[in-house]
Amino acid sequence: MTRRLRLWQVVVFAALACSAGTAAFSDTNNKKKNKDEPQAQKSYGRPTDPSLYVGSDTCRTCHEDIFKNFETTPHWKTTFTKKGPEWQGCEACHGPGKEHVEGGGDKSKIFTFKDKPAEQVSNRCLGCHEYGEEHANFDRSQHNINDVSCIACHSPHHAKEKQFLLVTKQPELCYGCHTDIKQDFNRPFRHRVEQGLIQCTDCHNQHGGFLTKQLRATAAQDQVCFKCHVDKTGPFAFEHVPVKTEGCGSCHQPHGSTNPRLLKRAQMNLLCLECHTLTQDSSVPSLPSFHNQSQKYQACTSCHVQIHGSNFDEFFFK
């Protein structure tokens, strides 16, 4: 009897130990997973008691110069909202001002954006802006993950660019961080970003998205390219497969290149041979035998002129 009781005690103890180990392992994995994944930001909760708010006219008595700038911005329309005082004017961003006023302008009694953590700053802005398509994915954006807040690019009171209240115009604004990209636009062949004919945000969504490099379209669609290069859009009766599967970036460098047409390779045939080389288990056709790569066969597009797609010829001759 005693031996049987001891056996049950051993079994129960082993089961409890196994359960505890599994729970601990699961908890560790969850913590690691939560640490690696970007956390959803907590939105700013506005106090709803009307007695805590003093109105923008009260703010104006001390901050006349800032208020004059505020009147010229899109944020001015918040003074007319019917949603309540917590959504109106200065206090829509800075929070209730009653204690600040009664404290003789005590800055600790009101939210000031200077030197605040990026998450707190962005939460204030997203209270109004997170519902638009442009800003809906800011939580997963690289800017948010790297603690770049809204006011790193936007200035509600002292904007140099009236459109979008930017602290400075593009591309200088983007170059402030993306210094490695700036040199691409100084290459002999480049998109004319420096001349103002195209902007970084025409192709990239700076507020975040689901795609790599925060692009506004996938490689298979390439709507960011076709918005300007409409003659390459298709659909074609004979498609050049990489255009639809890998996108324009399979052959072109989008920012700038030392090669004409922003190509990745200086010689056209070397670019084509990256795919059109006899390879086992590949469906891509290799070069015909008479293409011996002598000089006259090195300029592939001299014959295959419709290389992006054709409605007349499967070899893109016309």
Residue 298 identity (one-letter amino acid):
Q
CA count, 13 A, side-chain hemisphere, 305? 6
pLDDT digits (tens, 9 = 90+) for 198-229: 999 999 999 998 888 898 887 666 778 888 88
- 36 pLDDT above the threshold of 90: no
Q: How many CB atoms lie within 10 A of CB 79?
A: 16
**List of residues 6+ apart from 43 with CB closer than 8 A:** 123, 126, 127, 130
Distance CA 286, CA 116 (A): 60
On whether the CB atoms of residues 210 and 216 are closer than 8 A, the answer is no
Q: How far apart are the first and last CA of the chain?
A: 94
pLDDT of residue 15: 59
- Answer whether residue 3 shows pLDDT above 60: no
- pLDDT tens, residue by residue, 168-201: 999 999 999 999 999 999 999 999 999 989 999 9
Give the confidence band of 32 by pLDDT, cuts at 50, 70, 90. very low
* Integer Cα distance of 141 and 130 in angstroms: 13
pLDDT at 19: 57
Report the 10 Å Cβ neighbour count for 218. Answer: 13
Closest among 121, 115, 111, 114 to 90, alpha carbons compared? 111
DSSP secondary structure string for all residues of 228-278: T-GGG----SEE-HHHHHT-GGGTB-SSEESSGGGBSSSSHHHHHHTTSS-
pLDDT of residue 16: 56
Locate 303 and state its tokens.
């014959």
CB contact at 8 A, 305 and 317: yes
Backbone angles phi, psi at 127, to 5 degrees: -55, -30
Phi-psi domain of 110 (left: phi exceeds 0; alpha: psi -120 through 50; beta: other): beta
Q: Are 81 and 88 in contact (CB under 8 A)?
A: yes
Q: Is the CB of residue 201 less than 8 Å from the CB of residue 213?
A: no
User: Six-digit token pair at 89?
Assistant: 């004017």
Please tell me the distance from the alpha carbon of residue 147 to that of residue 228, in angstroms, as a whole number.
33
Tens of pLDDT, residue by residue over 62-102, are 999 999 999 999 999 999 988 899 999 999 999 999 999 99
**pLDDT class of 110 with cuts at 50, 70, 90:** very high
- Please tell me the predicted confidence (pLDDT) of residue 224: 84
39 pLDDT more than 80: no
Tokens of 191: 């998109």
- What mean pLDDT value characterizes the chain? 84
Q: Is the pLDDT of residue 7 over 70?
A: no
% of the chain exceeding 70 in pLDDT: 85
Residue 217: what are its φ and ψ, rounded to 5°? -155, 155
